[in-house]
Structure 1
Amino acid sequence: MRRFSAVLACVAALLTCPVLAEEAPAGMQPDQGATYQARFLLGVEALHAGNPMRAVAIFEPLLAETGSPRVKLELARALYLLQDYERSEQLFREVLARPELPWRVAENIRVYLDEIDMATGYVKFSVGVVSDSNPRNFTNSREVMIGGQSLTVVPPEDNRHVTGVRLSVRGYRPLDEKHRTTAFFTASYSDFPGGTFDRLNGDFGLARAVPGLPWLKAKAGFEGARLDGRTLYRFPYVGALAAMAPSDGYRLLGELKVGRLQVLQMPHLDSDNLFLVGKLAYPPALGLAFSNEATLERAKAGEAAYSYRGGSLGGSVVWPSDTWDTRFTLYGAAGVRKYDGIDPFFGDRRQDTRFTVSLDLLRPSLRIRGYRPQIGVVYERTDSTLDFFSFSKLGLRFQLES
C-alpha cells in the first residue's frame, strides 16, 4: 500500500508534465492520436484501480507503437508494482537519461531506483581524493588554561594540510525471498602520505523486519575504526530502523543505536552510548528540495567528566540547475554536547558547540567509465569552554561513485 500510494502521487504529478507529453509517430492522423491518448488513459486508470498487470498489457504495445517516454515511465511503474525489477529499472534509467527531463520527475525516478536497490540488493563503490587542513583536530588556541595556569600550546609538527586517496564501498542484500532479513555493510579506507593519518572505518550487521510493522526493522551490528594501524574504537550495538509511509511527498526516517563504546588507547572514555537520529524530506517546492535532520546522543562513562549528552539540528537544500546541468547540495548543522562533570585535568566543565557546512556539486548526466564524479568542500568548527578542544578545519573532496 505504501508503494502504491507513492505511485499514485507521482502519476498525478506527471500528468501535466509537458516534457513527457504523449508522443506519436510522425505522420499520424488526428484520430490515431486520440486513440493513443484514450489507450494511455485506460492504462493510467488501471494503475489507479490497483491493477498493474492490466496496465502492463495496455502500455507495452502502446510503447512499441509510439516510443513515448511518458508511456515508458508508466510502464516502468507498473512493472515495479509487479516486482519485475530488472525491466522496471531499465525503463526508469532510459527515461532518466533524457536531457530535458524536469528535475522533479528525475527525483521521483531516483526514489523508485532506490526502492529497487533495497528490494534486490546492491554494492556500490567510490574512489576519490580528499584533503584535510587539520588532521589531528588540534586546537586553534595558542594558550590554554590548565589547573588555573595559562600554558603555551605548540602544534604537532605533523599536523599540517594533507591530501590522500579514499576508497569506499557500501552494500545491502536481502537474505530471504520475502526480504524479512537483510545484511548491510559500509567501509572506507583513507590513505595519506607517511601513513600517520591512514584510517579504516567499517559498519556491518543484520536487520530484521518486525512482524506486523512493515515500516520497522530491528538491527544489530558492529562499528569500528583503525588509525595508523591501531584500533581507534569498537562499537557493537543493537537498534532499530524506521521508514514511515510517504504522505503528500513527505518522507520520515529514523534510526536508533544503543551499544558499548570501547576506546582501546584511552579506556577512561569507554561508555554506554545511545544515539537517535530522525530525518524528514519535504516535497519539492520553488525549484528546490529540502530536508531536515535532528540527532540526540547520550554517553555514560565510568566518570562524570567523560559522560555527556547532546543533540544537533541540520538541514540540506538541493538546487538542480538545468542551465548548468549541475545539482548543488548545501548542508548545514549545529549541535551542542554537554559533559556531566568537571574535567580533572583542566579544572572546568566541558561544553562543545559544533558547526558543519558543506557544498557538493554533481553533474547527473556526466559519467567517467560508468562512475559519476562529484566535488565538494566541507568546513567544521568546534567551540569549547575548554580552549584545548576548540578547533576548525577545511576539507576538499573529489570522488567517482558507481
Structure 2
Amino acid sequence: MAAAATGRHDLAIETFRHLLREVPTSRIKLEMARSLYAVGQYEESLKLFQSVYNAPNIPQAVKRNILPYMEEVELRIMRVRYGIRAITDSNPSRVADGGTIFFNGIPLEFQPPAPKEISYGVEPWLSVEKLWKTGLLTKFYGSARLFENKDLVAGRFHLAIARQASGIPGLYTQVSVDSEVSDDNSYALPSVEAWKRFRISDAAGIGVGGQIGYMSAENEDISGGFYRPYTFGDWTFLPNATAFAKVELEHLNSRNEYYTYVAPKVDFGLAIKAGQFNLAPQLSLTRTRFTQYDAFWSLNRKDITTRPALTISHDSLEWKGIKPEINIFYERRNSNVGIYEYNQMGGFVSFRKLY
C-alpha cells in the first residue's frame, strides 16, 4: 500500500498479487484495482471492483464509494449496453374516449383522431459510452418502438459530449442532440446542459442543473426555445433501500403561442432490495399550463398528468449478462378541456445487457 501511495504502482501490483494468494480480502482487492486503473489495466481493474461490489455483507457506504470507480473504469474501456423491450399498451396514441362534449351548453359529438385499443410491440435499444484520455465523455443512445400499426412506429436518438469541469469536482457540462422520428411528430432538440452534484454524506447527495436549447419540430408552429432547470437527490436510509427524487420546470416557448407551455414536474420513488428481488416503485406528477388563452373554450388549458410505475427484477434471473426486468405503469391526464384527457395502462418486459 505504501508503494501505491507513492506512485510505484507496478511494484504495488506485484505485492497485491502475492497478498491475494495468501489473504484474498476485499481491502486488498480494492487497493489492487486502484493501482491497475492507474497504470491503464482497465479490464482487470474492473473485474476486481465488481467482485468487491457484489460480495456479500459489503457496507452500503463502501458500495457508494466503489461505484464512481467502476463507472469510470468501464467507460475507459467503452461501455456498451443493449436490450429489447416487449411492450403492451392500452392506449398508445393517448387519445380521449369518444362521446358528447358541451360547448356553451351545446352538445357536440367528439371522436378521437386515433382508435383507443390495446397494442403490442417491441423496442430494441442500444447505448454506447466512452471516456477519452482528453476527459471528454461521448454518449449515444438509440431505440425504435415497433408496432403493427405504422402510425405508432417511432425512433428516438440521443447524442452527447460531456465533460467534468476542471477544478470543480462534481460539475459537468454537456452538449447534446435529442431527436425523435415518427409519422407526424418528428423533432430535434440541440441543447447545452450543466449540473453539479453535492455529497452530503456517505448515504445522501443532492444536485442542481439546467438545460437550454431549441426545439426544431416538423410542425414549425411547435418549434421554439426550450428551458429546463432541475434539482435532484437520493438518500440511502437503509442498507437495502434508497429514496430518490427529481423536481424540474420545463418551458417551451413555441413560435405559435398556442403550443407554448410551462410544466413543473416531480418524480420520486424508492429502490428496494428484498432478498433477491429488486423493486422500484415510482410516481411522476406533471402540471402543464398552456399560456395562450383559448377563445374557443374561453380558458387557458391546464393538464395534470399522473404516472405511477413499478419495476421488478430478480438477481438470480440472468443469462450471460442478460437480465430480464418487468415494468408496469398507469398514466392518466386530467384536463380542463375534456378532449385532451386520456388514460392508459401498459408494461414492458425488458432484456438488457448488464456488462
TM-score in terms of structure 2 length: 0.86
> Which structure shows the higher helix fraction?
1
Q: Judging changes above 3 Å, is the alpha-carbon distance between structure 1 residues 354 and 231 closer, same or farther for their aligned structure 2 residues?
A: closer
1:351 aligned to 2:302? yes
Q: Judging changes above 3 Å, is the alpha-carbon distance between structure 1 residues 103 and 249 closer, same or farther for their aligned structure 2 residues?
A: closer
Q: Return 80-89 or 164-173, whichever deviates more.
A: 80-89
1:6-21 matches, cutoff 5 A: none
CA distance in 2, matches of 1:125, 1:350: 40
Q: 1:285 aligns with which of 238, 248, 251?
A: 238
CA distance in 2, matches of 1:190, 1:218: 30
Q: 1:133 aligns with which of 83, 90, 110?
A: 90
Q: Judging changes above 3 Å, is the alpha-carbon distance between structure 1 residues 218 and 95 closer, same or farther for their aligned structure 2 residues?
A: closer
> Which structure shows the higher strand fraction?
2
1:163 aligned to 2:117? no
Question: Partner amino acid for 2:45?
Answer: S
* Cα distance, 1:374 vs structure 2: 0.7
* Cα distance, 1:384 vs structure 2: 1.1
Check the 8 A contact 2:86/2:121 in 1, yes or no.
yes
* Cα distance, 1:274 vs structure 2: 0.4
* Cα distance, 1:52 vs structure 2: 9.0
- Deviation per residue, 1:249-281 (Å, 9 max, x gap): 3233444221221331x3322221101232212
Instruction: Provide the secondary structure at the position in 2 that maps to 1:90.
Output: helix
* Cα distance, 1:129 vs structure 2: 0.4
Structure 1 residue aligned with 2:203: 249
1:237 aligned to 2:237? no
CA distance in 1, matches of 2:311, 2:17: 39
1:178 aligned to 2:134? yes
CA distance in 1, matches of 2:151, 2:233: 38
Check the 8 A contact 1:103/1:320 in 2, yes or no.
no
Q: Return 272-281 or 107-116, whichever deviates more.
A: 107-116
1:66 aligned to 2:23? yes
Q: Return 336-345 or 54-63, whichever deviates more.
A: 54-63
Structure 1: 5+ residue stretches without partners: 1-42
1:214-363 matches, cutoff 5 A: 214-228=169-183, 232-245=186-199, 247-264=201-218, 266-285=219-238, 287-322=240-275, 325-363=276-314
Q: 2:159 aligns with which of 186, 192, 204?
A: 204
Check the 8 A contact 1:141/1:387 in 2, yes or no.
no
Question: Partner amino acid for 2:90?
Answer: S
1:386-401 matches, cutoff 5 A: 386-401=337-352
Structure 2 residue aligned with 1:190: 145
CA distance in 2, matches of 1:326, 1:50: 43
Q: Judging changes above 3 Å, is the alpha-carbon distance between structure 1 residues 59 and 252 closer, same or farther for their aligned structure 2 residues?
A: farther
Instruction: Provide the secondary structure at the position in 1 that maps to 2:151.
Output: coil
* Cα distance, 1:162 vs structure 2: 0.7
Q: Judging changes above 3 Å, is the alpha-carbon distance between structure 1 residues 46 and 338 closer, same or farther for their aligned structure 2 residues?
A: farther
TM-score in terms of structure 1 length: 0.77
Q: Judging changes above 3 Å, is the alpha-carbon distance between structure 1 residues 164 and 50 closer, same or farther for their aligned structure 2 residues?
A: farther
Q: Which runs of 4+ in 1 moved over 6 A?
A: 49-52
- RMSD between superposed Cα atoms in Å: 3.0
Check the 8 A contact 2:95/2:114 in 1, yes or no.
no
Question: Partner amino acid for 1:67?
Answer: P
Instruction: Provide the secondary structure at the position in 1 that maps to 2:312.
Output: strand
Q: Based on CA coordinates, which of the two structures has the bigger radius of gyration? A: 1
CA distance in 1, matches of 2:25, 2:248: 45
Count of residues in Structure 1 that have an aligned counterpart in Structure 2? 351
Q: Judging changes above 3 Å, is the alpha-carbon distance between structure 1 residues 361 and 226 closer, same or farther for their aligned structure 2 residues?
A: same
Question: Partner amino acid for 2:250?
Answer: E
- Deviation per residue, 1:285-322 (Å, 9 max, x gap): 26311111111111212344322212112212111122
- Deviation per residue, 1:149-174 (Å, 9 max, x gap): 44232345643111111111122223
CA distance in 2, matches of 1:65, 1:390: 67
Check the 8 A contact 1:140/1:392 in 2, yes or no.
no
Q: Judging changes above 3 Å, is the alpha-carbon distance between structure 1 residues 152 and 218 closer, same or farther for their aligned structure 2 residues?
A: same
* Cα distance, 1:396 vs structure 2: 0.6
Question: Partner amino acid for 2:286?
Answer: G
* Identity of matched residues, %: 21
Q: Return 188-197 or 364-373, whichever deviates more.
A: 364-373
CA distance in 2, matches of 1:143, 1:244: 53
Instruction: Provide the secondary structure at the position in 2 that maps to 1:196.
Output: helix
* Cα distance, 1:96 vs structure 2: 4.4
